[in-house]
Structure 1
Amino acid sequence: MDRLAPFFERFSLSARMFYSGRQCGLSPNLDEPTGYLHVLRRGTLTVIRPNARPLVLDTPSILFFPRPQQHRIHGPKTGGADLVCATVQFGVGMLNPLTVSLPEPFVVPLNTLPQLAPALELLFSEASSRSAGRQAALDRLFEYILVLLIRSALTDRLLDSGVLLGLADERLGKAIELMHKHPEFPWSLEELARRAGMSRARFAARFRHIVGITPFDYLTDWRLGVAQTMLRKGSSLKLIAAAVGYANATALTRVFTQRLGMPPSEWLAHQED
């Protein structure tokens, strides 16, 4: 099974390039309800965030904000910083366990990602051109680069914790894949541990240590993330409840409200504003 496929099947990925060129001086505030992906090709870039120390990048890097976070970027007035930037929607505002588990921001030097080099060269080439279809090409390239970045985080274990590290674990990965594939199944801790080939206590301890939350907290977030996707597609609460392992719409609404602070109907209305 493709370990990343459930995320891309359940949460729609889209990107839109909004800047390419040389950043000299301070940018406007970047505070849309979206993620941001910045690719620094050369130069020095300073990232300024509220209540955080400035982050200085002086080597070509990918800078990914997986969740909305207000920030500004600053390039030196002499020389500037050569970069390409995009907004990213990948379950933003939803319980996407993948983006929730990524650090804010996620910074990776380009020299540690040789597998991305061909795609990045295409990105830089397209960004510097004025060819027909440039915007659409850059948007698709950003989406592809984000897929490659997440794949690299999984295969090269670029993170210290989170679901990608759990999926890379030979035993935990089996249980996580089953949760992803069958959220409707009445999973117990004992059954998940058995599928992972571990004792109940060892499985629970290892899961929390590596993924960062308990197996049932992760399962609940995955189920509610799937529920959010189905809500946005117009499915009924009765149908969603059955698809994600709840006895009825009332049970789903209770858990949804406890976790997100509002019932499904109110959450959906906020998404449509």
Structure 2
Amino acid sequence: MDDRLVELLRHFELGARVFQAGPLCHSAHFDAADGLGHIHVLQQGILRIDSPGQPTLLLDEPGLFFFMNPTVHRLLPQAPDVTMVCASLEFGAGLRNPLARALPEVVLIRLRELPTLNMTLQLLFREAAERHCGRQAILDRLIEVVFIQVLRDLMDQQRLQVGLLAGLAEPRLAKALNALHAEPARNWSLEELAATAGMSRARFATTFRETVGTTPGGYLAEWRVGVAQSLLRQGKPVQLVSDVVGYGSASALARAFRAQIGLSPTEWLKRHHLDRSDGAATASA
């Protein structure tokens, strides 16, 4: 099967920053003001996870959980031996990343359910316990690898029933999604996508909507805007971006932006730069 994550990772930059590696002696609170997600790996101990509006979670064995989107939450050690690795997570933050928008608020997996992660986690925990040169960079890269492996497992084990990963877990839909991701500028018809998936038009439309959670046309429009945001953030001119994602003109791209996010590309870019500047100022204060 083709790499189902390659286009997501190419267009929506993944970055992690480990800020906790070792014993967690006191409760830790996280807010959503920084616009980042968070990933936490419990190596040992018992941990309570509180998040407003969500049931309290109690993790009493090694496990991993992450908030893909900015989410207020609190970690409360329930024993003196809690040891964990925590990192902020940015995966196309501020962009219409279809994966971030489709995942549950919190994803929790017990490590015994993920034997394929053993080798990476051993490296992560060993690096966390030692103090060698380059430790921060290695921890950051390893937690990114862990996250990608988790996404792969969510697909391979079909742990999610609705959303992008559920669609990529279905072999026929994955063919259509991969093709759509690779060629956003193409004027895809429902018949072409159904043929790519090896399904009838009606069956494809129904299966796609029930599995991914939106229509093929709706998903394509969201993907195009997300890719356009990524390219604009890289400094690409609006006209070039509109061609790359299949709108053909700056005005057509502007209409698509307004329909989905209520701003023109130029307005969104200004707000995006302002938000990032405010975030940097807050972090340095």
Give the TM interval when normalised to the shorter protein: over 0.9
1:17-166 → structure 2 map (5 Å cutoff) = 17-31=18-32, 32-76=34-78, 78-166=79-167
TM-score of the superposed pair, with normalisation by structure 1: 0.95
1:179-198 → structure 2 map (5 Å cutoff) = 179-198=180-199
Matched residues in 2 for 1:39 and 1:151: separation?
17
1:185-224 → structure 2 map (5 Å cutoff) = 185-224=186-225
Amino acid at match of 2:94: G
Q: Any conservation in 1 of the 2:25–2:77 contact (CA below 8 Å)?
A: yes
CA 1:165/1:29 → structure 2, altered by over 3 Å: closer, same or farther? closer
Question: Alignment partner of 1:247: what SS?
Answer: coil
Question: Alignment partner of 1:104: what SS?
Answer: coil
Matched residues in 1 for 2:171 and 2:18: separation?
37
Shift of 1:51: 2.4
Amino acid at match of 1:186: N
Amino acid at match of 2:200: S
String of CA shifts for 1:41-80, please: whole Å, max 9, x gaps. Answer: 111111111222322211211111111111111112x424
Question: Alignment partner of 2:186: what SS?
Answer: coil
Matched residues in 2 for 1:52 and 1:187: separation?
39
Runs of 4+ with deviation above 6 angstroms: none
Equivalent residue, structure 1, for 2:257: 256
Q: Any conservation in 1 of the 2:158–2:169 contact (CA below 8 Å)?
A: yes
Amino acid at match of 1:263: S
Matched residues in 2 for 1:165 and 1:53: separation?
24
Question: Alignment partner of 1:213: what SS?
Answer: coil
Shift of 1:170: 2.2
Q: Any conservation in 1 of the 2:50–2:56 contact (CA below 8 Å)?
A: yes
Question: Alignment partner of 1:107: what SS?
Answer: strand
Aligned length: 272
> What root-mean-square deviation, in Å, do the aligned CA atoms of Structure 1 and Structure 2 show?
1.3
CA 1:13/1:29 → structure 2, altered by over 3 Å: closer, same or farther? closer
Matched residues in 1 for 2:172 and 2:28: separation?
45
TM-score of the superposed pair, with normalisation by structure 2: 0.91
Unpaired segments ≥5 residues, structure 2:
275-285
Question: Alignment partner of 1:235: what SS?
Answer: coil
Q: Any conservation in 2 of the 1:35–1:66 contact (CA below 8 Å)?
A: yes
String of CA shifts for 1:136-169, please: whole Å, max 9, x gaps. Answer: 1100111111111111112222212221221222
Shift of 1:91: 0.8
Matched residues in 2 for 1:145 and 1:230: separation?
26
Matched residues in 2 for 1:156 and 1:232: separation?
34
Identity %: 43
Matched residues in 2 for 1:30 and 1:140: separation?
24
Question: Alignment partner of 2:209: what SS?
Answer: helix
Q: Any conservation in 2 of the 1:44–1:81 contact (CA below 8 Å)?
A: yes
Comparing 121-130 with 157-166, greater Cα deviation is found at 157-166
String of CA shifts for 1:80-121, please: whole Å, max 9, x gaps. Answer: 421110011111221111222221111111001101001101
Unpaired segments ≥5 residues, structure 1:
none
Comparing 46-55 with 171-180, greater Cα deviation is found at 46-55
Alignment pair present for 1:15 and 2:16 = yes
